[in-house]
Structure formats: C-alpha cells, structure tokens
Amino acid sequence: MTARHTSTGAGCDLLRRSPGDLPTLQAATDLGDAAKKMVAAVG
C-alpha cells in the first residue's frame, strides 16, 4: 500500500481501513495519544 501527498485525515482513514495489512498498528489522534498507546504497549 503506497499513498503519497495525503492529508492527515486521509492518511488516518487509509490506516484504519488496512488493519489486515498492519495488524498491530493503532492510529493515534495526536502525539499525546500516541505516547499513551506506546507506553501501554511496552508496559
């Protein structure tokens, strides 16, 4: 899957629609959310 020059919203939509391609990927809403998810993942 290759996407170039997409907006953030469109990029997030692409990631949400491809969970089979990226089974462990979790989209974050912002950097704070990403940090929380990362800390939870490494626990």
HSE at residue 2, side-chain half, CA atoms within 13 A, is 0
- The pLDDT, as a whole number, for residue 5 is 62
Instruction: Please state, in angstroms and as integers, the Cα–Cα distance from residue 23 to each residue in 5, 19, 43, following that order.
Output: 24, 5, 19
- SS3 percent helix, strand, coil of the chain, rounded to 5, is 50, 0, 50
Cut 0.85: pTM above it:
no
Structure tokens, 36? 């929380």
Q: Residue 11's closest CA among 2, 22, 24?
A: 2
- The pLDDT, as a whole number, for residue 35 is 94
Contact (CB, 8 A) for 8 and 15: no
Task: List pLDDT tens digits, range 21-32.
Answer: 766 778 899 999
Task: List pLDDT tens digits, range 1-43.
Answer: 455 565 888 878 877 777 677 667 788 999 999 999 989 888 7
